[in-house]
Structure 1
Amino acid sequence: MADPYATLGISRNATEKEIKSAYRKLAKELHPDRNKDNPKAAERFSKVTQAYDLLADKDKRARFDRGEIDAEGNPANPFAGMGGGMGGAGMGGGPGGFGGGGQRGFRAEDFQGFQQEGVDLGDIFEGLFGGGQGGFSRGGARGPGGFGQQRRPPPRKGADIAYRLRVPFVDAATRKDQRITLADGKTIDLKLPAGVEDGTQMRLKGKGEPGAGGHGDGIVTIAIDRHKFFRRDGDDVRLDLPITLSEAVGGAKVRCPTVDGPVMLTIKPGTSGGTTMRLKGKGFSTRSGTRGDQLVTLEITLPRDTAELARRLEGWQDDSNPRADMGG
């Protein structure tokens, strides 16, 4: 897999905010809903999501930067820790190493867990030490000091199954459990993760296709629906709230919708249109488990029939200049 930094188009010293911003931009551009006739976009979307999952995890990112794991989260050097490298006590003639002067040779059990799928360890070590005495034997026959018959690669698991789950805006903001029907007809309730976004992927262990090595996984991609008056802004929720002229001039308590249900909002006398008020903790959940805010922008609306208002204002003139700061 390509370098995750290159996949997201960011530098290696990018901040968490820059990583998140780059992912949002690419996820929006490459989302399967927008590229139904472009399979390459869907493939890139998957790679971008995998890169983000690695870099958004502080521990994984640090291990990747140190070269301990690769871009897929696998150990970068599966032979690390065998002791002594290719010389010295580990592989040379010292205690426990190869060669005639050691106390013992390597045993088959010393390499338990290092058989990789599709990799013939016999070929690797024959290339290093030759196929003579003390080497690996092929074909199942055990040579002097050899390892004996090779283990076969483990059976493969079944294929993963991709699911797409549409989540209502309010449910995503409040992390309400979502029910999903699987390919086998069974239904389960999913707990949405903290910091859920459009394009977030969830892995369901063992919910994929069956295989000789067990079932694959289910990969659920979240698609958050739009709302008729709420808008998402990062972890915050924005709302334009209409108020009357009399409420703006004289002040009032008005009912204001939030993702958690309506609340009463206090409008101070003399409030201007365009004023933004903040409701703490009424936004989306963050990865740390806290919540963003709801930002309410007040919009003054005039009555449909302005005849009575015009009659009351007859002879009165507002001499203020609200455009003074704009050079007007």
Structure 2
Amino acid sequence: MSNDPYKILGVSTTATQDEIKKAYRKLAKSLHPDLHPGDTEKQAQFQAVSAAHDLLRDPEKRRRFDAGEIDASGQERAQRQYYHQYAGQDAGGRYDGGAGGFGGGQRHGYSQGFGGFGTGGEEDLSDLFSDLFGRRPRGGGGQQGFAARGRDQRYNLEIGFLEAARGTKRGVTMPDGKSIEITIPPGTADGQTLRLRGKGSPGIGQGPAGDALVSIAVSPHPVFTREGDDIVMELPITFDEAVLGAKVEVPTISGPLSMTVPKGASSGQRMRLKGKGITRGKTAGDQVVRLKIVLPKAIDDDMRALAERWRAASDFDPRAELRRTT
């Protein structure tokens, strides 16, 4: 499989962020390890797709990749990293840009400057490169092993709207095939990243493990939408409930409750249920209810006669204000 993230996701280099997200979701759903237990090829493809999306979804990482500053795994390109870190150092670790620097003739300067790599020559330089680029160091001679923090593992998880609002626990398979349980706190937002300390790749030598970074995608709900910590919904009411007022049942993210519709309510009127929105810690948003008067599809004779009598007797004009201001 290509290591080009654009080719992995099947998008062009000029693709928009929405096109990248759409391509990723399509591939991730078809390749997820939970759907292909034991299939190492599908698992590898899923890992590649997740890594490609993780790089391209971040505008700064995408810019740096396009500019050749980082590779497809998000790491500094090896030659650039080595040059910036070690080019021009003499045996004492100073930058002189001279013969003891990168590409100079004094190879023994590396072994003396970094310690523990031997007494000089080609073999010492190869040991240095091995340690720099993560290969396992050789033991012996009291040499301390190279230690580095493990890489972070990234995962993209789609959850339901109510799961995000109420909080939940989900068992997921990470890109490396490891299964972990994730606690999703109440009020988790779409696009939020959860960091699981020490759940990433193991460290090198005595280095600590990396973290698992789980990016949350919240699927839309047919009734509720979220605005900050408020939950917004549209509530249908009948003609008589709007005119006479009524007590009606209203769904909320924590279960149904009763609400009073005032007499003479209009479509678009907003009512607020305090504390019935997203709860995070000790604070909670509200639920905003927009009223919408809905008439039956079939108007019977009684309703028609009532409307005709009201029209004949009333001079009410709901569009008068529009004419005055336009």
TM-score normalised to the size of structure 1? 0.56
Q: In the alignment, which of 210, 230, 239 is matched to residue 202 of structure 2?
A: 210
Q: In the alignment, which of 288, 302, 305 is matched to residue 295 of structure 2?
A: 302
Q: 2:219 aligned with 1:231, yes or no?
A: no
Q: In the alignment, which of 312, 319, 322 is matched to residue 326 of structure 1?
A: 322
Q: 2:172 aligned with 1:180, yes or no?
A: yes
Would you say the 8 A contact 2:164–2:184 is kept in 1?
no
Change in CA separation of 1:186 and 1:43 when aligned onto 2, cut-off 3 Å: closer
CA shift, 1:180, in A, is 2.8
**Distance across 1 between alignment mates of 2:317 and 2:149:** 72
Tell me, what secondary structure is at the counterpart of 1:124?
A: coil
Tell me, what secondary structure is at the counterpart of 2:305?
A: helix
**Distance across 2 between alignment mates of 1:137 and 1:187:** 45
CA shift, 1:46, in A, is 3.3
CA shift, 1:198, in A, is 1.2
CA shift, 1:122, in A, is 4.8
Listed as ranges, the gaps of 5+ residues in structure 2 are 1-15, 28-48, 62-83, 101-110, 120-140
Q: In the alignment, which of 8, 21, 34 is matched to residue 33 of structure 1?
A: 21
Q: Which residue of 1 aligns with 2:250?
A: 256
**Distance across 2 between alignment mates of 1:44 and 1:181:** 22
Count, aligned residues? 221
Which deviates more, 34-43 or 314-323? Answer: 34-43
Would you say the 8 A contact 1:167–1:224 is kept in 2?
yes
Change in CA separation of 1:291 and 1:45 when aligned onto 2, cut-off 3 Å: farther
Change in CA separation of 1:199 and 1:150 when aligned onto 2, cut-off 3 Å: farther
Q: Which residue of 1 aligns with 2:160?
A: 168
**Distance across 1 between alignment mates of 2:321 and 2:143:** 80
**Distance across 1 between alignment mates of 2:170 and 2:60:** 25
Listed as ranges, the gaps of 5+ residues in structure 1 are 1-27, 50-116, 143-148
Cα-to-partner distance string for 1:112-141 (whole Å, 9 max, x where unaligned): xxxxx96679543485xxx9xxxx954669
**Distance across 1 between alignment mates of 2:145 and 2:315:** 86
Q: Which residue of 2 aligns with 1:191?
A: 184
Residue type of the partner of 2:285?
G
Tell me, what secondary structure is at the counterpart of 2:21?
A: helix
Change in CA separation of 1:320 and 1:314 when aligned onto 2, cut-off 3 Å: closer
Q: Which residue of 2 aligns with 1:45?
A: 57
Q: Which residue of 2 aligns with 1:220?
A: 214
Q: In the alignment, which of 93, 118, 128 is matched to residue 124 of structure 1?
A: 93
CA shift, 1:155, in A, is 2.5
**Distance across 1 between alignment mates of 2:93 and 2:18:** 41
Tell me, what secondary structure is at the counterpart of 1:265?
A: strand
Higher helix share: 2
CA shift, 1:175, in A, is 2.5
Aligned alpha-carbon RMSD (Å): 3.9
Change in CA separation of 1:46 and 1:313 when aligned onto 2, cut-off 3 Å: closer
Would you say the 8 A contact 1:206–1:214 is kept in 2?
yes
Change in CA separation of 1:40 and 1:158 when aligned onto 2, cut-off 3 Å: closer
Identity across matched positions, percent? 34
**Distance across 2 between alignment mates of 1:47 and 1:151:** 42
**Distance across 2 between alignment mates of 1:312 and 1:126:** 93
CA shift, 1:278, in A, is 0.7
**Distance across 2 between alignment mates of 1:294 and 1:304:** 29
CA shift, 1:154, in A, is 3.4
**Distance across 2 between alignment mates of 1:126 and 1:242:** 73
Change in CA separation of 1:211 and 1:186 when aligned onto 2, cut-off 3 Å: same
**Distance across 1 between alignment mates of 2:252 and 2:291:** 14
Would you say the 8 A contact 1:199–1:223 is kept in 2?
yes
Would you say the 8 A contact 1:30–1:41 is kept in 2?
no
Tell me, what secondary structure is at the counterpart of 2:146?
A: coil
**Distance across 2 between alignment mates of 1:310 and 1:126:** 92
